[in-house]
Amino acid sequence: MDQHLFYYYFLPFISFFFFFFFLFILSKFLLQIPQIHKNVPPTPLSLPIIGHLHLIQDPLHRVLHTLSLKYGHAFILRFGSRPVLVLSSSSLVEECVTHINVLEYQPCGPYCSPLSRPVKHDYASMIAAHYGPYWRKLRHVTTIELFSIRRLNTYSVVRQDETRTLIKSLMFGILHNNFTRVGLRPRLQDMSFNIITRIVSGKRIFGLEVDDLMADLNFRQMIMDMFKARARYPDELLSFMQWINIDDMKKTLLRLKAKKDACSKDLLDEFWKKDGVSNKEMIDGILSLQESLHENYSDHILKGIMLTLLLVGTDSSAATIEWAMSLLLNHPHVFQKVRAEVEENIGQGHLIQENDLHKLKYLQNIVNETLRLYPATPLFVPHESSNECTIGGYHIPHGTMLFVNTWAIHRDPKVWDGPTRFRPERFEGLCSKGYDYMPFGIGKKQGLGTGLANRVVAMALGSLIQCFDWERVRERLVDLNEAKGLTIIKNEPLEAMCKARECMFNVLSKVLDDS
């Protein structure tokens, strides 16, 4: 009987143990970077097949920061068989950009998953495109035709109008000029969405004034689904997980692609029906390019540009304003200081205009400090080494993916005094912090919407400070925990006590009369 139990229970256990031991040894040869005669970055202990995927948790930037404290500012992870270099030092980032310049995003490389195509519009967008002639073409369109100073000035009326709409929505929600509890996140998101959609297409998408409620809801749902998909299915894991098809991943991404195609087709079809080009919306500028250079600007490329603007430019500004208001509510002395600056430079006779923003230096410091503590994208858009190179004295093989932990660099105690403190004064007299401060990325892949985002955030934040008094809902500080995902947003939507300022009644009455 004992022999029977041995054969049926113990031998399978021994076989199972040796099988996984064999996989572990095999992974050391197949998955680990060859270290013979090469100085490679340190790496944590990995598991067979999956590499370091067991270490990946939300929020990812905090996990990578914790690992950097143990393994240094440059270390290697493995996502399956994919090597990933993680950098948490501004000097190493500077070395990559200024001296090496070989870390380029290559979505069509051997590790690319076909499942990532739907969320990247088949790599037609500038964010996903590999650096080269096609990428330079997209860069020219977005930089010269869409985000030039002249174009940004053209859209100032849109930003001013949507800021007024934000103020009106708060006025309608306040009862009898008393402190009233209001939710800021949906109002800020509507404002941010409408600014982008009006700039791109000339149409408001969200709000009570929108005629087509179903179009409003459908577009909102598409945007939210896209953000959820980016958080659930990061591109870096798709190539490893595509054979598993977790949660019907492929069906989900293809369904989102169909929604995106339908949305962009509707925009193009509507504007092709127009008699002439008004040159007031981005889509007009894009279509005029297509008319003159059709072979260079196909409908597929134009859809990729438009959807990049809609998806990338809509949520980050709202999140930054929400973080800034949360920090101001937790630091009343900072709020009073910026309120005094607004009173001194703007007064109470009119709302803040965009041409007033250059007078509000401390307000801009608050925006900068908010982006330092809570950059919208805490990790750079992933890049890839196109050749073997050396970074920080370490050998980096061809095909290594690069993660730059902006969040960790912004909180480096060797660079920033009291890095976790909210102290806008640290930016006084500073024109640039170089590679120590990169909320919108840096180098060739730097975000093109920086100028637009700064204007939107500063205008909206300044108007909220100028027009309303604010208090916390409770005596305890506003919760600053982050939600799960690849972008930094508050876990709990911000709610605050709001009251219109008596000294601004005349101005606010005019705003309501214009509605």
CATH code for the domain in which residue 326 is found: 1.10.630.10
| Predicted local confidence at residue 498, as pLDDT | 95
| Predicted local confidence at residue 232, as pLDDT | 47
φ/ψ bin of 512: left (φ > 0), alpha (ψ from -120 to 50), beta (otherwise) = alpha
| Predicted local confidence at residue 182, as pLDDT | 95
| More confident of the two residues 26 and 437 | 437
The per-residue pLDDT of the chain, averaged, comes to 75
- Does 9 reside within a domain? no
pTM for this prediction:
0.81
- Report how many domains make up the chain: 1
- Does 99 reside within a domain? no
- Does 181 reside within a domain? yes
| Predicted local confidence at residue 333, as pLDDT | 97
Average pLDDT over residues 38-60: 84
Distance CA 199, CA 283 (A): 8
Percent of the chain exceeding pLDDT 70 equals 59
Residue 470 DSSP label: E
| Predicted local confidence at residue 302, as pLDDT | 66
| Predicted local confidence at residue 235, as pLDDT | 43
pLDDT grade, residue 135 (50/70/90)? low
| Predicted local confidence at residue 32, as pLDDT | 47
pLDDT grade, residue 19 (50/70/90)? low
DSSP string, 307-322: HHHHHHTTTHHHHHHH
| Predicted local confidence at residue 363, as pLDDT | 97
> Given the structure tokens 């105690």, which residue do they identify?
413
C-alpha torsion 383→389→394→400, nearest 10 = 40
Q: How many CB atoms lie within 10 A of CB 222?
A: 17
The per-residue pLDDT for range 369-420, each reduced to its tens digit, is 999 999 988 988 777 777 788 888 999 888 888 889 999 999 999 999 999 9
Burial class (CB in 10 A: 0-12, 13-18, 19+), 36: exposed
The per-residue pLDDT for range 296-336, each reduced to its tens digit, is 566 666 666 666 666 666 678 899 999 999 999 999 999 99
Q: Judge whether residue 181 has pLDDT over 70.
A: yes
Average pLDDT over residues 137-141: 69
| Predicted local confidence at residue 62, as pLDDT | 92
- Does 16 reside within a domain? no
E strand intervals along 432-514: 468-472, 495-500
Residue 51: phi and psi, rounded to 5, are 65, -120
Distance CA 313, CA 193 (A): 8
- Does 474 reside within a domain? yes
Query: How many Cα atoms occupy the beta-carbon half-sphere of 469 within 13 Å?
Result: 11
| More confident of the two residues 335 and 143 | 335
Q: Judge whether residue 233 has pLDDT over 50.
A: no
Q: Judge whether residue 146 has pLDDT over 50.
A: yes
Average pLDDT over residues 228-244: 46
Q: 253 Cβ partners below 8 Å, 6+ apart?
A: 115, 116, 118, 119, 229, 233
Per-residue 3-state assignment (H helix, E strand, C coil) for 148-191: CHHHHHHCHHHHHHHHHHHHHHHHHHCCCCCCEEEECHHHHHHH
| Predicted local confidence at residue 297, as pLDDT | 60
Q: Judge whether residue 184 has pLDDT over 90.
A: yes
SS3 507: helix
| More confident of the two residues 89 and 259 | 89
| Predicted local confidence at residue 116, as pLDDT | 45
Distance CA 240, CA 231 (A): 16
C-alpha torsion 304→309→314→317, nearest 10 = 140
Q: Judge whether residue 362 has pLDDT over 90.
A: yes
Percent of the chain exceeding pLDDT 90 equals 34
The per-residue pLDDT for range 190-199, each reduced to its tens digit, is 898 888 878 7
The per-residue pLDDT for range 419-431, each reduced to its tens digit, is 999 999 999 876 6
- Does 26 reside within a domain? no
Assigned token pair, 437: 């401060």
Distance CA 80, CA 236 (A): 10
Question: Which of 1-15, 73-87, 177-191 has the lowest average pLDDT?
Answer: 1-15
E strand intervals along 46-115: 74-79, 82-87, 103-104
**Range from 71-75, 126-130, 278-282 that averages highest in pLDDT:** 71-75
pLDDT grade, residue 115 (50/70/90)? very low
- Does 81 reside within a domain? no
Comparing CA positions, the residue from 82, 23, 83, 76 lying closest to residue 45 is 76
Query: How many Cα atoms occupy the beta-carbon half-sphere of 157 within 13 Å?
Result: 6
- Does 83 reside within a domain? no
| More confident of the two residues 441 and 285 | 441
| More confident of the two residues 32 and 222 | 222
Look up the domain containing 508 and give its range. Answer: 133-513
Q: Judge whether residue 347 has pLDDT over 70.
A: yes
